A and B are shown apart, each in its own frame.
Chain A
Amino acid sequence: METKEHPSVEKKKITPDKCVVTGKGDWYFPQSDIYETPDNFTILIDMPGVGTENVMIDLRDNELIINGEVAQESFRDERVLYNEYSVGHYHRHFVISDAINRDKIEAKMSDGVLSLVLPKAEHVKPRKIEVKTE
């Protein structure tokens, strides 16, 4: 596994009309990893600032829509002196195939990282075929 000396993060802003839910504030494109194991597909999405209760995951037709809303923490009496990132909501969508068992999709949010486990449907799981001897 490759390890970079300095992980870097780049926040890509997206125009609100590309998002399914339009709320107040800006929307960003979160970074994600997808990996496949014999039984599942796992999607990891970085959404710093988003709590468990503010993640909305929608499955419409074959589109998996993920919206993460950041709590609008106000800088009430604070003066911002230096700013390297902008705070905003997250939106991302993925098209999923029939190879996924849609009833068993699981989602977990921890430390600003959403992990989605999409189990494979029975008919696409790798199967060992036994060779019979006569």
Chain B
Amino acid sequence: MSLIRWGRTGPLNSLTHIQKEMSDLLDILSSAPQVEGYSSMEFPPIIVSANEENVFVRAELPGIQINALDIQVVNDVLTVKGERKPVVPAARATYLRRERNYGTFARSLMLPEKVDVEKVTASYKHGVLLVTLPRAPEAKPKQVMIQKA
């Protein structure tokens, strides 16, 4: 940084200031999530992953009572239903800011593999739901032995 004599703030200085403000604004706007059509509106957002044994479905569901969740697997369709109940303040309250939403939701998704419906388990930790769906025996990869003729 170079030294500038006191009192010499020309018109160029304010322009640099505007330029800086603009680039800050662009930074904020470009860091916003990319809207990908309808899928970004779905609740809860999910991640589906798989390994050789299981298919995993993770969902971000903060602040939900487990008994307000209903998880079903029918054939290869997983359905997660539930309700996010509003926090009812003890005394009369005035909301100053409201960003979190409440309400009922339901989501179904087609699983990528055939699963063993009997062995599906689900856990809920720190507001994240994890459904573990073991692959059906016929969907597991099988090693083929090569025999020497």
Contact = CB atoms under 8 A, between A and B. Distances in A.
B51 interface: yes
Interface of A: 1, 3-15, 31-39, 41-42, 44, 46-51, 71, 75, 77-85, 110-113
Interface stretch (B4-12, B13-21, B101-109, B139-147): B101-109
Contact of B48 (A1, A5, A36, A82): A82
Interface in B23-66: 27, 31-33, 39-52, 56, 60-64
A49 B45 CA distance: 13
A48 B62 contact: yes
Contacts of B44: 9
A51 B126 contact: yes
B3 interface: no
Given A1-B86, A8-B101, A85-B45, A49 B33 contact: no
B95 A35 contact: yes
Interface string B83-96: 01011011111111
Interface of B: 27, 31-33, 39-52, 56, 60-64, 84, 86-87, 89-105, 112, 124, 126-128
- Main SS class of interface, A: loop
Nearest to A10: B33
24 contacts: A1-B86, A3-B102, A6-B42, A6-B105, A7-B43, A7-B103, A13-B33, A15-B31, A33-B99, A37-B92, A47-B127, A48-B127, A50-B126, A77-B51, A78-B50, A80-B49, A83-B48, A84-B39, A84-B40, A84-B42, A85-B45, A110-B63, A112-B60, A112-B62
B135 to A, nearest CB: 13
